[in-house]
Amino acid sequence: MSTGYLATVGFIMIILIMVLLLTQKVTAMFAFAVIPIIGGLIVGMSPTDIGSSVQYGLGLTTSVALVMLFALPYFLLLADTGFFNEIVRKVLRHVRITPPLLICLTLIISWIVGLDASVTSQYIIVMPLLYPFYKKFKISPIILMFFTTMGIVMDFDLPWTARTLRAVSLVPKVQNGPTALFGKILPVQVVFFILLLVIAYMVGLYVQKKQHIIVAKTTKKERIALANEVKDDQELTRPKLFWINVILTLIIIVCMVAFPTFPQYYLFAIGIVIAFMINYPDQKLQNKLWKKYAKSMVPVMPTILLSGVVVGIMTKSGMMKSMVNVLLRILPKSVGPYVYIIIALISPLMFLFTNDTWYFVLMPIVMSLETAYGVSEMVVIATLFMNMGALLSPIAQPQIYLGPSSVADSFTVPDYIKKSFLPIWLLNIVWVLLGLLLGAFR
């Protein structure tokens, strides 16, 4: 097969997958499982070739899927025990509410609640919790949703999130990819989070001055009352085991850092077994919870697995290499080494991309292209990882509809998108520039 023919089939296949995902005509699982096989047959691959390519591709994503299999239920279990709610309560009991602190608190609490890697929980917990204070100070609920969203962004790169697992599935040769990616992004994230806190505080001061708000000191009793409004599931909450769960979680995290060659999924497997024994020793309750957690893993986990089929077919057939060669001929040599940076800077413009399209379709092509210019795959992934614009997309992140509905529909999703698009884009640019300045994206 000629390079041009392979590249043409590859581009058509990728465009078809993108269109189907963007228009939601089929599921991501269908797109990843079926279309690559058709593409392989068109370029002349035999059933045996296709079978070995599929096996190769699935081998790339199996370890990532295993991390999700054990890590996600572990943090969902912690959430059921009231672990994250208790952290929120401890913060609220010691913070005196003013507009600047309220907006900073929105960012911090959203980040804390999001440690379970659930965008849904951040919207349905943080916004109803803090909306009464925004209403009291006459602060727009769009500001509440904006900083809740930025808290979500700060949880994107946790080693157990679906985004991280998607991204590192593209670099299977990197040992303990989730931890490696998190470590690479962490310095940028720390500086960016501090910057977000400064912005949140300044916005609060502006609102306080504009609304002529006279801030009254809250008593300790009032702060305790606010904290007590954070409710747990009475059947599942385990407040007496909070510190034991803290210690167990810290042990897992320390082991991940101290023993980077040890399989991460096995650490979480041990962790969830122990967590179940400590918190829910009853076997019937354990089975009930496993069924509950399984719903959170489908269809994300199968999608992560099947994404390997696309990579496997395109790699083994030669389509990926041919596509890269065609792109290299088209792009001016002066631009080629910076394509990944350019895409990162304009990524909010592509907010209609689904997460699957972004990670499993766009990233592999850019990675292959930049490798030819000597840019490492991990640098490309780290640079393109955040894609903050996705949180403005009802297609990529349908959970944004939970925002307005959780605060009595006081605003609409279109209102939020219109007013938040430019600020998120500017922050996205700042993020990329910080990464370049600190060397993480170079």
Length of the chain: 442
What pLDDT does residue 182 have?
92
Residue in the block written with tokens 């951040």: 122
- Residue among 122, 155, 119, 172 at smallest CA distance from 300: 119
Are 119 and 152 in contact by the 8 Å Cβ rule? The answer is yes
What pLDDT does residue 222 have?
66
Instruction: Say how many Å lie between the first and final Cα of the chain, rounded.
Output: 36
Tokens linked to 262: 């040890």
- Residue among 403, 423, 426, 414 at smallest CA distance from 141: 403
- Residue among 233, 227, 247, 188 at smallest CA distance from 109: 227
Residue in the block written with tokens 């309750």: 285
- Residue among 77, 117, 56, 65 at smallest CA distance from 265: 65
The pTM assigned to this predicted structure is: 0.72
Residue 440 is which amino acid?
A: A
Is the preceding peptide bond at 299 cis, omega within 30 degrees of 0?
A: yes
Q: Which residues of the chain carry a pLDDT beneath 70?
A: 1, 22, 95, 116-118, 120-121, 212-219, 222-223, 226, 257, 260, 299, 328, 350-354, 394-396, 398, 408-409
What pLDDT does residue 157 have?
86
Class of residue 284 by CB neighbours under 10 A (exposed 0-12, middle 13-18, buried 19+): exposed
What pLDDT does residue 307 have?
80
Rounded Cα distance between 103 and 101, Å, is 5
What pLDDT does residue 395 have?
60
What pLDDT does residue 352 have?
58
